[in-house]
Structure 1
Amino acid sequence: MGLQILHAIITVNPTYGGPIEGIVQTSREHRRRGNSVEILSLDDPDDRLLVQCEFVCHAVGPGLGKYRYSPRLVPWLRANASKFDFIIVNGIWNYTSFGVWRALHGSGIPYYVFTHGMLDPYFKKHYPLKHLKKMLYWPCAEYRVLRDANAVFFTCEEERLLARQSFHPYRCNEHVVNYGTAGAVGDPQMQRELFLSKFPHLRGKRNLLFLGRIHEKKGIDLTLKALAQCVKDAPKDKVNDVQLIIAGPDNGEYASALKALCYELQLTERVTWAGMLGNDLKWGAFFVSDAFVLNSHQENFGVSVAEALSAALPTLITDKVNIWREIEEAGAGFVDTDDLAGAVRLLRRWLGASRAEWADIRTRARECFTSRFHIALSTQSLLDGLAMYAGNEAQAHALRRDSAGTVRRPPLGNQAAVGAASKSSGHPAQ
C-alpha cells in the first residue's frame, strides 16, 4: 500500500494558477508510484468544476468572503486527518492554512506548508494597504501556521531568502525542494495543427507566447510596450511577421485595460487573445511559438516557464522570476530586468539571434527541463523533504514503505517529436 497524501488548498479551480496545477501534476506522478492523493478545498460542494477534478476532492465550502472562512473545515479535518500519512497545505492568507492549524494544533498530527511565493516582499512594496492588514493578522494566524508546521517548503533558494523579508517575527523549518511539471505530452505535430486550425492567421509567423493569469504582476503591459517600440525601431524585415499570443482568462477588468492598450499602441493586428487553453490546444500554442515571454514583476516558480522549456521553447524572462538563475546558467533563454528597458532588450536579443544560436538555445531549453524541472525529480525531492522532517514513526514508516525510495530518472518521453515540432515552427531570424 502506498502513501496516503492530503493536499489542502483554497480551490481546485484551474484559473487559480500554479498551485493547483502543481498539485495535479505531482499527484499524477504519485499515482504512477502507487500513492494515493486527495484534495481538501474550500469550494462549494455543488460547484460543477469539482466534476472536472481528476482526484478525490473534499469540498468543505463555500468559503465566505475573500478569506473564504468555512465552519466545516476544522470538524472535517479532526474527523479525517488520521487517515492520511501526510497533510500538505498549499498557500496562505486564506482560511485553509489557519483552519489546518486550528484542527491539528496539539493533536500530534503533523502538517507541512508550501507558501507558493505568498511571502514575497513584492506584495509588501506594491500593495502597502493590504500588507498593513496582513501585518495585523500575521502574529495570531500565519506566523503560528508556519512556526508549528513540521516543515515549510520553498520551490527555490530565491523564494526562501525573500520570504524572510516580509514579516516579523518569522520562524519555521525552511526546506527547499525541486519543483516542476510533467511537461509536454501527446503528439506535438497534431497539437500544432490543432492550434493553427483555430488560429490560422498565425501559421508561418514568428510567434511570441505568454500563457498564464492575466494579472498586473505578470508585466504583460511591458511586453506590449516593448513590442510596439521594437516594431517602430527595428528594420521591417525583422518584425514584419512577429505576433504575440496572449493565452489566459481574458474577461476581467485588467484584460480589458490591456486590450485598450493594444489599440493605443496600434498592436491590435499583432496580438491574438487566445483565452484559456488546456490539453492539446495549450501544447499546440507552445509548439507554434518561437519564444515564451514573461516580463513578470514577481513569480515564485512559473509552471508555464517549465512547460515552455519542456517543449524546447526558449524563455524571455525577468530576474523577478525566481528560477531565473537556473535558466541563465543553462543558457535556456534570456534574462533581464522587470522594466520597459529590460523588456525591450529581451525582444531585441531575440530578434537579433542567429538561426544557429536559436537552435542551440532550443536544445538547451529541453535539457534544462529534463535535468532540473521534470516532475519525477520534483516529486522525489518532496518525498526526501518529507522524510527529513517526518513528524513521527508512523510517517517515517510510511515513507520507508513507499516504492519511490530512490531518485528515478525522468523519462525522455517524446523528446524527438518535441524537437521535430520545434524545427517546423519557424525561427526568429528568418
Structure 2
Amino acid sequence: MRVALISHDIYPGDGQGRVNYELARYLLSQGVTVDLLADRVDEHLVDLGATWRPIHPGGQSVNLIRVWRFKHLVNRYLDAHASRYDVLLACGVVLDRPHTVNVAHFVHGTWIDSPFHAAHRHRAPQKWYYRLYSLLNAHWERAILHQAEVVVAVSDNVGRDLVQLGLPSERLCVIPNGVDTDEFSPGPSRRAALNLPGDVPLGLFVGDLRSPIKNLDTALRALVDIPDLHLAVAGTLDGSPYPSLALDLGVANRTHFLGFQRDVVGLMRSADFFVLPSHQDAFGLVVTEAMSTGLPVIVSRSVGASCLVTPEVGIVIDPPDNVEALKTAFTTLASDPDRRAQMGRAARETALNCSWSRMGSRYLELFHEVGAPSHSGLSQPASKKLA
C-alpha cells in the first residue's frame, strides 16, 4: 500500500504535528510506503524510509497566503501523480480535489462563532485578519470535506461539529489521538527540584496562559475556598493575566507559576491530579498524557479527550465555567489520597488502550477498507465500508 500523507507539519512540535508524525511512523513500521507532502518533516521519518516531497519548506507559521498556496501546489503535484497512491490522506484544508480520507483535527466552521475566537481579543487590523482567516478556512473546509470519501474526527466533539456543518454521519468515523505510554508513565516525584511543596495535595494545569480558551481563571476561582490545595501551572507567562488574577483572588501563595516546561513528564509525576477546564479543545493530548502518567483528570465536556474520561478515571464538568462543579471536583480529589491512587491506576489502564500504535492500527484498518486498487482516490461508498 502506498499512502500520501498531506499536512503542513509532520513534526512532533505541536499537537497535530505530533499525531501526523506518529501515524507516519506507525505506517512505516507496518511496511506501508509513505510519501509526506508537507512543509516541515521530522528527518527521522526520512531515515525510517519515508519520502518527503517538500511543498514550500522553511516557513514556521501557517498564514492565509501559505494555506492557499499549499493547496495550489499540492493540487498541481497530484494532478500528475495521484494515480500512484492507494490512499490520499489529507489533514484539513490542504488540497482541493477528491481524496480518500480527511482528518479533522479542528473545525473552523464552528470555531468562528466562538466568543473565544481571536477576533474578539484583538483590535483592528489584527481583528479583521483573524476573522478573514477563519471565514476563508471555513469556506474551504466545507468544500474540501465533502470531497473526502471518509472524514476522520479526532474526538466525538469534532464529529458533532462536522455533522452540525452538514457532513453526513455515514461518511464520518472517530479515531481518538494516541499517547506515548512509555514516555508518559508513572515515576518518582520531582517536587523538590521544581520548588513545589511536598506535603500538600497538588493539582496541575498545563496550557496556553495568554488566551482565555484553556480557562485557567475558573480553576483559580475554584481554588479560593479550598485552603489546603495547591495548583502548579505550566505555560509561557509573557503577556499572561493569570498571575495578577491569582493575586487578586488571594491564591497567589498556593498557585505555582512555573513558566514553560520541557519536562512535562516529570511535572506530571509530581502532581496528584490534572485539570483542564477548556472552553474549547478539539482533543487535548495533554489529557491522555496525564492519564498515561497515572493521574486522575478533571476536564470540561468541551475538551475532546473527555470522551475517554469515565467516572473511574476522572471527573467531567459541564459547562466549563461552572466554578461550583470544579470546586467539588477539586475537593473530592484533594481530600482522598486512596481514591486518587485508585483513579490514577484506572487512568493508566485506559491510556494503555490509547497508544500511538493502537491509533495507527485503526487508521491502517480504515485504509484497507477504503483504499481503491484502481488508485482512483475514490472507491465504494463510505457508508458501506464503515457499517
Deviation at 1:230, TM superposition (A): 2.2
Residue in structure 2 matching 1:20, options 2, 17, 38: 17
1:89 match: 90
CA 1:148/1:70 → structure 2, altered by over 3 Å: closer, same or farther? closer
Distance change in 2, residues 1:70/1:148 (3 Å): closer
Counterparts in 2 of 1:184 and 1:139: CA distance versus 1, 3 Å: closer
Which of residues 275, 282, 302 in structure 1 aligns to 2:284?
Answer: 302
**Residues 10, 21 of structure 2: 8 Å contact kept:** no
Q: How big is the shift at 1:11? A: 7.8
Verify the 8 A CA contact 1:40 1:60 in the aligned structure 2: no
Q: Distance in 2 between matches of 1:175 and 1:158?
A: 12
Runs of 4+ in 1 over 6 A off after TM superposition: 128-132
Describe the superposition over 1:228-270 as per-residue Cα deviations: whole angstroms up to 9, x where unpaired.
2323xxxxxxx1xx3322223333x3xx212221222233332
Give the TM-score of the pair, scaled to structure 1: 0.70
- Could you tell me whether the CA contact under 8 Å between 2:38 and 2:55 is conserved in 1? yes
> Equivalent residue for 1:347?
330
Aligned with 1:285 (options 267, 275, 282): 267
1:29 aligns with 2:26: yes
Partner residue of 2:183? 185
Higher helix share: 1
d(CA) in 2 for partners of 1:299 and 1:139? 17
Offset, 1:176: 1.8
Q: 1:151 to 1:349 in 2, by over 3 A?
A: same
- Deviations along 1:85-139, whole A, 9 cap, x unmatched? 53333244xxxx2xx11xxx27xxx342212132574652426878985896478
Task: Give the gaps of 5 or more residues in structure 1.
Answer: 44-49, 232-238, 397-430
Of 247, 265, 269, which residue of structure 1 is paired with 2:253? 269
Q: In the superposition, relative to structure 1, how do residues 139 and 28 fare at CA in structure 2: closer, same or farther (>3 Å)?
A: closer
How far residue 393 of structure 1 moved from its aligned partner, in angstroms, is 3.5
Residue 213 of structure 1 corresponds to 208
Counterpart of 1:117 in structure 2 is: 106
Residue 226 (1) aligns with residue 226 (2): no
Q: Secondary structure in 2 aligned to 1:60?
A: coil
- Measure how far apart 1:342 and its partner are: 2.3
Amino acid at match of 1:343: L
SS at match of 1:185: coil
> What is the CA distance between 1:313 and its match in structure 2?
0.7
Inter-CA distance 112–213: structure 2 relative to 1 (3 Å threshold): farther
**TM-score (normalizing by structure 2):** 0.77
Q: Are the structure 2 counterparts of residues 34 and 268 from structure 1 closer, same or farther at C-alpha, using a change threshold of 3 Å?
A: farther
Structure 2 unmatched runs, 5+: 47-51, 120-127, 378-387
Q: Is residue 292–residue 308 contact of structure 1 (8 Å, CA) maintained in 2? A: yes
Moved more, 284-293 or 387-396: 387-396
Partner SS state of residue 244, structure 1? strand
What is the alpha-carbon distance in structure 2 between the residues aligned to residue 295 and residue 358 of structure 1? 19
RMSD: 3.4
Residues in 2 aligned to 1:65 and 1:311: alpha-carbon distance in whole angstroms: 35
Question: In the alignment, what sits opposite 2:384?
Answer: none
